[in-house]
Amino acid sequence: MHEEIFHPATYATGVPYDAFRDMRAESPVAWIPEPAVGSWPAGTGYWAVFSHADVKHVLRSPELFSSNLGATQIRDPDTPEDLAFVRAMMLNQDPPDHSRLRRIVAAAFTPRAVRALEETIDRRARALIASAAGEETDFVELAADLPVWTLAHIMGVPDSDRRLLYDWASRVIGYQDDEYAGLSTADVASMSPMAQKAMQYRPASFTHPDGRPVNPRSYAALADMFAYAHALAAVKKENPTDDIMSRMLEGGLTDHEFENMFFLFAVAGNETLRNGIPGGLLTFLDHPSEFARLRADPSLLPTAVDEMLRYWPPVMDFRRTATRDLTLSGREIKAGEKVVVYHASANRDETVFPDPDRFDVARTPNDHVSFGFGPHFCLGAHLARTQMRAVFRELLPLRVERTGPPVRLASNFQNGLKHLPVRLTPAR
């Protein structure tokens, strides 16, 4: 029962908010089966957590609900070796190891550090939106440039290679959607020599000899990305600068920690905004009166950004693993069982958000969990808000019209759009 909550195809037509509402009322912690999806095998099933209070409890209690034991995705790694590898990622660690890794890169994401980037981000957003003025454009593709460009900037990735970040994220995040997973947009001819060399390590196939798909979060599926990471590291060792890559190299990371840190920033650092910005625009197009309200009072932009994130959380869920037998909202959970928190449900919890299905650009307080909670609260939250404000500040003077239907990503993890055709023209 309730397997539609797990199934990626469900999300290709929209987040099942009605089902989440029913589960919060009837069974705020419920067992969800993991049926096979195409060539992907069935999983063990998991406990899904739907209420705001329970989601926060799980996220702030790593001693009870571990990020490290089974990593943080619903799907289990294919092999013990794959699990051991991804457990080295900061996202998949518990304190104190998580805290040690976080300290190495935290300085790059302080409000002061982000403020130093604001003018640069604003200029990039202004140029992007201006480039599409008066034309029909796929806003998903247009908006993706800003987070990829910003991430390349703070990582020290050459501009000629930044499109690789887009393609690697597509491979990892979109594996449940054939169109998304197969995106390959980087122009090999214009890449740096180190990128061209790394591309030779790109797997020729993403299936095992027996036909089983290769887990996209495994070392084998991302051999080209890790080859590039080490090549870029060699350049940074010769010419250290004040960027995240240099901080990683100076932080005493093991090889696997370095590879996984690069993996985390290359994918999570751009994929969330690549979907969150278009998702925010689609939300406004579905609520034109709120768009008009924001245009009339641009001072509401900060609260509007948080309301976009509440209403359209880019990441819908994260997995933890129970460290021991315990009880949560009356459910007996055994040690080693998966526990998946649904941010998308918690953000519509009527006990926390009055009239939760209403989009309100002035909503305050707004205790959404789209950036997580507890020790894993997103390091890039301030940077993400800065980029969203930059884009929507440029959209406010424009008339935005749909020119075709939006196309959603089939994913039970990323709340994504593949296409959002619009026309941007000066408001009359």
> What pLDDT, in 10s, does the model give residues 329-368?
999 999 999 999 999 999 999 999 999 999 999 999 999 9
Q: Does the reported pTM lie above 0.85?
A: yes
Q: CA 7 to CA 11: how far, in whole Å?
A: 8
Q: What residue ranges of the chain have pLDDT lower than 50? A: none
What is the enclosing helix (H) or strand (E) of 389?
helix 381-395
The reported pLDDT for the residue numbered 428 is: 63
Three-class SS of residue 91?
helix
331-347 in b/e form (b: 16+ CB < 10 A) is bebeeebbbbbbbbbbb
The reported pLDDT for the residue numbered 61 is: 98
CB 399 within 8 A of CB 387: no
Q: Measuring CA to CA, which residue among 225, 152, 154, 153 is closest to residue 195?
A: 225
Find tokens 């600068």 and name the residue: 241
Q: CA 380 to CA 21: how far, in whole Å?
A: 29
Exposed/middle/buried for residue 84 (C-beta within 10 Å: 0-12, 13-18, 19+): exposed
Domain 4-426, what architecture?
Orthogonal Bundle (1.10)
The reported pLDDT for the residue numbered 363 is: 98
Backbone angles phi, psi at 369, to 5 degrees: -115, 25
Which residues are registered as beta bridge partners of 133?
Answer: 424
